[in-house]
Structure 1
C-alpha cells in the first residue's frame, strides 16, 4: 500500500532487500528511534496502554505458539537465528495453564465494553 502510494505520487521507492516490517513512506527501514516514536503516536491515537516493541514481539510469539503455528514458522516470523532460541522463549506458552490464560485474554479482548468496565474500576494512580 505504501509502495503504490509513493509511486502514484511520483516519489522514488526503495526496494528493501531484507524485507523489514516497519518502513518509511519511501520504503527505507525505520530507524529504531523513529520506530519507537511512531509506535508511541499510534498507541496514543488508539488510546492503548503502555507498550514497547519488545513486548509486542513477545506477544506475537506467544500468540503464534498458542495458535499452534509450527515452531520453525514462529522462528522465521520473529527472525530468530536458531530454533532453540524460539523454543527456549516460547515452550512455556504450550503449558495448559498458559493456553487457558491466553484463551481468557482472547475472549476479553473481543469485548471492548468489558475492558472499559475493568479500566473504570481500577484505582487511580493517586490512590495506589
Structure 2
C-alpha cells in the first residue's frame, strides 16, 4: 500500500471513530504501553509490533505509568515483608 493512501485511510478511520487525528506511530507507542500495562510478555509485544529487536519495543515504544511503578514497588515490599 502506498504511504499516502495508508495515511488517508488511517485519517478516515480516525474520523469515523471520532478519534482526533494522530500520527500512526503514536498508535504503535500507545499499543506498546498498553501491552506493558497488561503484563503481556515483552517478547509477545515485540511480535505484535513486528520489531526485530526487543530493545526497540521496550526502550523506544513502551512506557510504564507511575501507577504501575507504585504497584510493582508495593508488591516488592510485600514480598520482602516491609
Asked if these proteins are the same fold (TM beyond 0.5), I'd say yes
TM-score normalised per structure 2: 0.70
Q: How large is the Cα RMSD of the aligned pairs?
A: 1.9
Unaligned 5+ residue runs, structure 1? Answer: 1-29, 101-128
Which residue is equivalent to 1:60? Answer: 31
Aligned-pair CA distance for 1:35:
1.1
Aligned-pair CA distance for 1:98:
5.1
Larger relative CO (CA 8 A, sep 6+): 1 or 2? 2
Whether 2:71 is the aligned partner of 1:99: answer no
Displaced runs of 4 or more, over 2 A: none
Give aligned pairs, total.
68
Give 1 or 2 for the bigger CA radius of gyration: 1
Unaligned 5+ residue runs, structure 2? Answer: 70-82
